[in-house]
């Protein structure tokens, strides 16, 4: 599907929705982060929401996209009570390829996505309370395409970065983020 547009010159609107992430006590078969497998595939967009608002908006954007979109949901987010929120009834989308700052900061940037956004927000709060550090949390939301401009702008603003993700040690999303910033 990722190469069909170039092969036949027709769009291939397709959404593949699937679970991702560990921490659910599911053992090795149900604790995987497959985003890196697809992240490196030309022609496939990859999104991973961290909030209910983004989940709805990214799913609608994926459905309306003329390209294959892999829509990954972190399993931990299914049951977090703090994520319950009233969603707008009116139609909206969250643009694919646009990151969002979840917390402003001056001392360091945390680059993250999916369930790790909530871990980073908790850590940033602790760092502020205990060490008087202001940490910016940038939620990537979309892994392919990445929002290079937002990533570079945030890190230039704070001049320090911590990349937080659940992925394999090598060849993952974190390695790509580090390469962008190198």
| Catalytic annotation, residues | 30
Provide the 3-class DSSP secondary structure of residue 178: helix
Partners of residue 135 on adjacent β-strands: 108
**Range 40-66 burial, b when 16+ CB lie within 10 A, else e:** eeeebbbbbbbbebbbbbbbebbeebe
Locate tokens 């709060």: which residue? 125
**Rounded distance, CA 12 to CA 7, Å?**
11
Residue whose C-alpha is closest to residue 92's, from 60, 50, 62:
60
């Amino acid at each position: 599907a990722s190469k069909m547009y170039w092969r036949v010159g027709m769009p291939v609107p397709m959404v593949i929705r699937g679970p991702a992430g560990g921490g659910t006590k599911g053992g090795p078969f149900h604790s995987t982060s497959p985003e890196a497998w697809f992240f490196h595939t030309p022609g496939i967009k990859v999104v991973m929401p961290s909030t209910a608002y983004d989940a709805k908006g990214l799913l609608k954007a994926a459905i309306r996209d003329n390209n294959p979109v892999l829509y990954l949901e972190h399993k931990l987010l299914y049951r977090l009570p703090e994520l319950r929120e009233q969603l707008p009834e009116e139609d909206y989308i969250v643009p694919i390829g646009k990151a969002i700052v979840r917390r402003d900061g001056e001392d360091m940037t945390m680059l993250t996505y999916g369930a790790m956004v909530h871990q980073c927000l908790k850590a940033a709060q602790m760092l502020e309370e205990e060490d008087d550090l202001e940490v910016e949390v940038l939620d990537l939301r979309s892994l392919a395409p990445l929002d290079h401009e937002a990533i570079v702008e945030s890190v230039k603003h704070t001049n320090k970065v911590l990349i937080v993700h659940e992925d394999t040690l090598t060849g993952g999303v974190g390695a790509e983020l580090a390469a962008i910033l190198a």
